[in-house]
Structure 1
Amino acid sequence: MTVQDMPRGTVRVRPPQEIGAAMEAANAEPACTGRFGRGVLGALRWALGGQVAAPVTAAAPLDAAGPTVPHLLDELGAARACAGPGGRRVDPEYARGVSEALAWVCGERDRPPGDGPAR
């Protein structure tokens, strides 16, 4: 089961300190380079509220505290579909980085992206 199949009220987002630590590690991790790495870092930065526009859809959450669970799940779905607004295509490696990072942020993966295989 993916987090997108779960009722939205049951998804538990990782705490900001954990997301920040993963972002620091991704910056230093050799596996998080290129387009994949840019997707990972963009997703983690957005999840922390460090950038306004979502990494794939460019949607901007109205909440000043950053994206909510519905925003995170919508962006995860868009990354998995590799489609942005208006059907615009997003680089598949970038989208995969976004997808893996947001799946980890939402608790679907045990390890942060670049830190070995998912569960």
Structure 2
Amino acid sequence: MTRHEPSTTQGKTGVRDVSQVDRAFECLEAEAAGPDRQTQYARGALAGYLWALGRGEPAPITAQSSDGAPAMEVLMAEADAATVQIQDSTQRTVPRDYLQGVHDALAWVCGHTDDKPLAL
């Protein structure tokens, strides 16, 4: 399992506590650890979580760079970019399942859903 340094500042990522997003990342990473469990969906969700925590560069869909954890409006814009690519295959730059994973992770981080992504 890959270890990523926990945030030294407590606070929020989207509407969630940083510790909640850390736990969600760690749980999904553990679920997806097996060779048959590492799906494009799980990869996308993990990338979304890392980026939301300010530990992944660049943004998983738009490749936009940011300094640290992105603000709520930037998180929502990235989720919207995933939605556009999911709905329009001519806009896709990565597999659809990866896009869905990023979208679902960011939707949870932003408080648009209470359902966290699970390894599929």
Q: Please state which band the TM-score falls in when normalised by the shorter chain.
A: 0.7 to 0.9
Q: Which amino acid aligns with 1:110?
A: D
Which contiguous aligned blocks of 4+ residues in structure 1 show a shift greater than 2 angstroms?
A: 87-90
- What's the TM-score, normalizing by structure 1? 0.75
The structure 1 residue matched to 2:16, chosen from 4, 9, 14, is: 14
Q: 1:42 to 1:115 in 2, by over 3 A?
A: closer
Count of aligned pairs between the two proteins = 99
Q: Which amino acid aligns with 1:66?
A: A
The structure 2 residue matched to 1:79, chosen from 79, 82, 85, is: 82
Deviations 1:64-119 (A, max 9, x none): 33111111011000111127xxx453210000000000000001111211189xxx
Q: Which amino acid aligns with 2:68?
A: A
Which residues of 2 match residues 1-119 of structure 1 at below 5 A?
13-30=15-32, 33-61=38-66, 64-82=67-85, 87=91, 89-114=93-118
Alignment RMSD (CA, Å): 2.1
Partner SS, residue 47 of structure 2 = helix
Long gaps (5+) in structure 1: 1-11
Long gaps (5+) in structure 2: 1-13
Give, in whole Å, the separation in 2 of the partners of 1:76 and 1:110: 15
Does the 8 Å CA contact 2:42/2:119 hold for their aligned counterparts? Answer: no
Give, in whole Å, the separation in 2 of the partners of 1:60 and 1:89: 17
- What's the TM-score, normalizing by structure 2? 0.74
Q: 1:40 to 1:17 in 2, by over 3 A?
A: same
Q: Percentage identity across aligned positions?
A: 36
Give, in whole Å, the separation in 2 of the partners of 1:17 and 1:44: 12
Q: Which amino acid aligns with 2:15?
A: V
Deviations 1:40-70 (A, max 9, x none): 0000000000112100110012xx3311111
Partner SS, residue 82 of structure 1 = helix
